[in-house]
Amino acid sequence: MRIPDSKETLDNTDIHPEQYELTNYMLENDI
């Protein structure tokens, strides 16, 4: 489910909320 108007950018993607921490880590560290 996507939430386009959310403050959390990843809410508008196919990424599951359980993976947000890992995804943010990967984005911050260019992995």
pLDDT in tens, the chain (31 residues): 899 999 999 999 999 999 999 999 999 999 9
Domain tally for the chain? 1
The residues near 18 (Cβ < 8 Å, ≥ 6 apart) are none
pLDDT at 23 (0 to 100): 98
What range defines the domain where residue 10 resides?
A: 1-31
CA 29 to chain centre: 15
